[in-house]
Chain A
Amino acid sequence: MESFDYSPYLREKKFPLIWCAGCGHGIVMKAILRAIDRVGWDRDDMVMVSGIGCSSRMPGYVDFNTLHTTHGRAIPFATGVKMANPDLHVIVITGDGDATAIGGNHYIHAARRNIDLTVVLLNNSIYGMTGGQVSPTTPKGKRASTAPFGNFEASFNISGLAEAAGASFVARGTAYGAVQLSKYIEKALLKKGLSVVEAISPCPTVFGRRNAMRSPVEMYEDIHENSVSVKKAGTMTADDLEDKIITGVLTDIEKPEYTTEYKKLIATLGGSS
């Protein structure tokens, strides 16, 4: 991967990126592009759909069919694209606020439906674009611009949410472990069904500086030190796992996929699409 050429996949004219120095989102974008390259899909058949927020600016930089929608609604728009043309490969780019606060309903129902979308959820535990407000994944006790005394709400396990709601593939990786992350994304792309890859991505600018982690290096090291593989996590107690990031493939099951089932219904009824 040292010499990987990203340029065929990028709209370099749109650079520089909107993301701040030290942000993990560029690392996640590169992990996605390497995964797409290994899978070998044609750019014309790829659709990248996003909502609103820092991560949701990604579609502007990649040379696919790209759709930057309204806050929280990437999954519904993507559902429409996929149903209208199931031959398209549809990737949803979203963040913790976009997918699990304002868009939480769509996130769980897409998982229940098991429609063939690959959701890459960049979790930076904060609303970055609007200046650092508390999000559903801000850890307890951490500060945000709207949690000046420390967050006292419980935070979501958003991978667990997707698993419980019926997603056929769920994995968690980090911007620190970019090689593994890219492997999870590759598996997710190839999975026929709703797949979620939660990518832990640091936000030094508006999360770190409020929480005594001003330096990006510190934040990456923090992610690294707190990451535990799913295998190792199996040997640890719940108390030990408190505040840990469990990485790896969390769910990988076979179940009927929505657009495939719909196609069968059309065939049964004698319709032709």
Chain B
Amino acid sequence: MPVTKRDDRVRVMTGNEACAEAALAAGLKFFAGYPITPSSEIAEELSTKLPASGGKFIQMEDEISAMGAIIGASLAGAKSMTATSGPGFSLKQENIGYACITEVPCVIVNVMRGGPSTGLPTMPAQSDVMQARWGTHGDHPIIVLCPQSVAETIDLTVRAFSLTEKFRIPVILLMDETVGHISEKIRLPKYEELEIYERHKPTVPPEEYLPYRHTDNDIPEMATFGSGYRFHVTGLCHDETGFPTNNPVEIEKQMLRLNRKLERYRDEIIEVETAGDEDAEIGVFAYGSTARSAKRAMLMAQEKGIKTCFLRPRTMWPFPDLEVRAMGEKVRSIIVPEMNLGQIAHEVEWAVAGQAEVIKVNKISGEPISPPEILAAIEKAVK
């Protein structure tokens, strides 16, 4: 038998462990969290690994303070992250809105479990996809990434840091319990080859610095507390100087710029995976761990001679409406399996605008959706 060289980048790990590993690779320097199932392993991993790499970990007194602490740390220059699940995610919403309006980079991991309320702490669900987009009050930009596997958790965690630092928009890594707890064999990336984006800092002298300047690219430069640029940060509507304003013109200008970042950089932010037949009759749209069942179902349908295609958002928000629309123009029906009562199916319906029938396959029992369940919906649709 030939002797194969040992690959020292091969590991078996869970999605939660992978998230912690990748966050460190992306340059995480500060983590604040609060224990909650099924995300606690991320905090546990980082409580060991962060101080060993010169970073800081703190277990705060609650979810709200963990979210506040990462915003403070980010303003002081540290790449920052917190991790939580359903009830904790609800508690963090006000401060997530603060990070949105003040444009402070940070990564929030939500390992979804069943809800509402205490719900199903140890069982999978995808019931926070709308909360991830609209959980905090007011019009705001937010980026939500949705991994389907342990390997992809590595990629998307690193990407979450790049996107938040680049665009100054908080990024939510929306995992589900299955992705968080499944153990898979993966091959770690070569960290030195990862594309890591650092925040853009001001180059003007401090007296000329405008923390919320209307730049050509809509992304103001971000100074660090303690770097000689003394500036004001507030959750009140503010003008270019960062100070509160009641001037309707200034308010609208800032709010439009804030929200415009998502539309303007849509193509750079949105990533989808597509597969299947070009001339498909039936499309399947699925995300997170459910997408793995959905892809399997597509293959099973193809074996039965049903032309099927598949679309999976790696970026959930901003919603890949153009990509979904393109699928809708092609197929007769789109099957949308999700572990909730159809939160994203409505978004798919809006995107296809009547060009294809949208068929929901939902489960909220705490069990994953199996490939045969999705296949059954495909077969029914094709009849």
Contact = CB atoms under 8 A, between A and B. Distances in A.
Given A44-B228, A80-B68, A81-B72, A271 B61 contact: no
B77 interface: yes
Interface string B86-108: 00000000110010000000000
A207 B235 CA distance: 27
Sorting the interface of chain B by its residue count into under 10, 10 to 19, 20 to 34 or 35 or more gives 35 or more
B274 interface: no
A14 B53 CA distance: 42
A45 B244 CA distance: 23
B29 A271 contact: no
B234 A106 contact: no
B64 A109 contact: no
Contacts of A80: 30, 32, 68-76, 80
Contact of B232 (A66, A109, A273): A66
Given A64-B230, A68-B235, A273-B54, A105 B61 contact: yes
Interface residues of A, number: 41
A60 B225 contact: no
A88 B30 CA distance: 16
B72 A84 contact: yes
Instruction: With a 10 A CB-CB cut-off, give which of B30, B76, B236, B243 has the most chain A CB atoms.
Output: B76
B30 A105 contact: no
A82 B200 CA distance: 22
B355 interface: no
Given A59-B232, A60-B234, A84-B77, A47 B226 contact: yes
Contact of B65 (A76, A83, A85): A76
A271 B48 CA distance: 11
B233 interface: yes
Interface string A208-250: 0000000000000000000000000000000000000000000
Contact of B230 (A65, A75, A82, A265): A65
Contacts, number: 142
A49 B234 CA distance: 10
Interface string A86-98: 0110000000000
A262 B55 CA distance: 10
B99 to A, nearest CB: 10
A266 B54 contact: yes
Contacts of A271: 51-55
A68 B226 contact: no
A41 to B, nearest CB: 12
B359 interface: no
Given A63-B230, A69-B235, A76-B65, A81 B56 contact: no
Given A80-B32, A80-B74, 8 more contacts: A44-B228, A63-B230, A68-B232, A69-B98, A81-B225, A83-B58, A83-B69, A105-B65
11 contacts: A59-B232, A65-B226, A65-B231, A67-B225, A73-B64, A73-B65, A79-B32, A79-B58, A81-B75, A87-B226, A271-B52
Interface of A: 14, 43-45, 47, 49, 59-60, 63-70, 73, 75-85, 87-88, 105-106, 109, 262, 265-266, 269-273
Which 10 pairs of residues, A with B, have the shortest CB-CB distance? A80-B72, A76-B68, A76-B65, A80-B69, A84-B76, A80-B73, A77-B72, A84-B73, A271-B54, A84-B78
